[in-house]
């Protein structure tokens, strides 16, 4: 298979039809739906900046959970089905591709942090599954029988409770991830508002300059007329 390049992922090449790649996404990298960015927090595509609307729908990237338009996602395969992956996350599964959109580069670090955080959450969830608890019980029985002669020896379950995070930490990590997404959305809105305000002030200043220019022109025109009248009076 030819290596996947960012040139092949331009909006001109996959704007009209569903685009897919040969890249395979590891199932454990798929972000759970509850960690996706809320649709109300994004008014436009994170990659190209185009506004969502009736003819430009929102699409969630399954790796970072953020929202993109149809032109900025491709379909990659997993063991079970195909999933949508944004152009920013493609390099995480195909290092040959590098994003060429400068406005999206600061978000690259956040995407990688989301994947690492997801791995941490899954490790904690896996450690708390019934299967793992059953294995832990067997280990505890074996450990207890083999160390019965040792007084005050901690059991395997006690050691596990001491070193593994509780289920509340999973909820805390998910909450922090959502707060990060909300903060990014708030900053984007504030930046947009500031840009519109600066543009409005610039237009107002331009109108004032034009008004001043008209007043000056009228002033000098009146001065020229008065000077002509004085010359006529002196000649008489």
Q: What is the pLDDT of residues 117-162, one digit of tens each?
A: 555 555 555 555 555 445 544 454 444 444 444 445 555 555 555 5
C-alpha distances in Å from residue 216, one per residue of 96, 121, 148: 63, 70, 102
pLDDT attached to residue 147: 45
**What is the enclosing helix (H) or strand (E) of 127?**
helix 106-127
Q: Which fold has domain 8-131+163-236?
A: Herpes Virus-1 (3.30.40)
Q: How confident is the model at residue 68 (pLDDT cuts 50, 70, 90)?
A: very high
Q: pTM for this one?
A: 0.37
For residue 218, report the phi and psi dihedrals to the nearest 5 degrees: -65, -40
For residue 77, report the phi and psi dihedrals to the nearest 5 degrees: -100, 150
Q: Give domain limits for the chain.
A: 8-131+163-236
pLDDT digits (tens, 9 = 90+) for 167-204: 677 778 887 888 888 888 888 888 877 887 888 888 88
């Amino acid at each position: 298979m030819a290596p996947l390049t960012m040139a092949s992922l331009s909006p001109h090449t996959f704007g009209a039809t569903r685009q897919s790649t040969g890249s395979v996404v590891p199932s454990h990298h798929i972000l759970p739906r509850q960690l996706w960015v809320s649709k109300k927090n994004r008014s436009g595509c994170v990659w190209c900046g185009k506004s969502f609307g009736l003819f430009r729908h929102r699409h969630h990237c399954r790796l970072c959970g953020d929202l993109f338009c149809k032109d900025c996602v491709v379909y990659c395969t997993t063991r079970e089905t195909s999933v949508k992956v944004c152009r920013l996350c493609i390099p995480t599964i195909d290092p040959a591709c590098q994003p060429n959109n400068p406005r999206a580069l600061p978000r690259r670090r956040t995407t990688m942090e989301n994947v690492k955080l997801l791995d941490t959450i899954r490790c904690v969830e896996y450690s708390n599954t019934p299967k793992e608890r059953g294995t832990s019980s067997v280990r505890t029985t074996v450990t207890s029988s083999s160390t019965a002669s040792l007084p005050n020896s901690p059991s395997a379950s006690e050691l596990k409770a001491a070193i593994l995070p509780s289920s509340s930490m999973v909820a805390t990590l998910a909450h922090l991830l959502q707060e990060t997404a909300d903060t990014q959305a708030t900053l984007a809105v504030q930046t947009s508002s500031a840009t519109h305000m600066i543009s409005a002030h610039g237009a107002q200043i331009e109108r004032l300059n034009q008004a001043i220019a008209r007043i000056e022109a009228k002033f000098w025109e009146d001065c020229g007329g008065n000077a002509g009248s004085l010359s006529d009076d002196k000649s008489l």
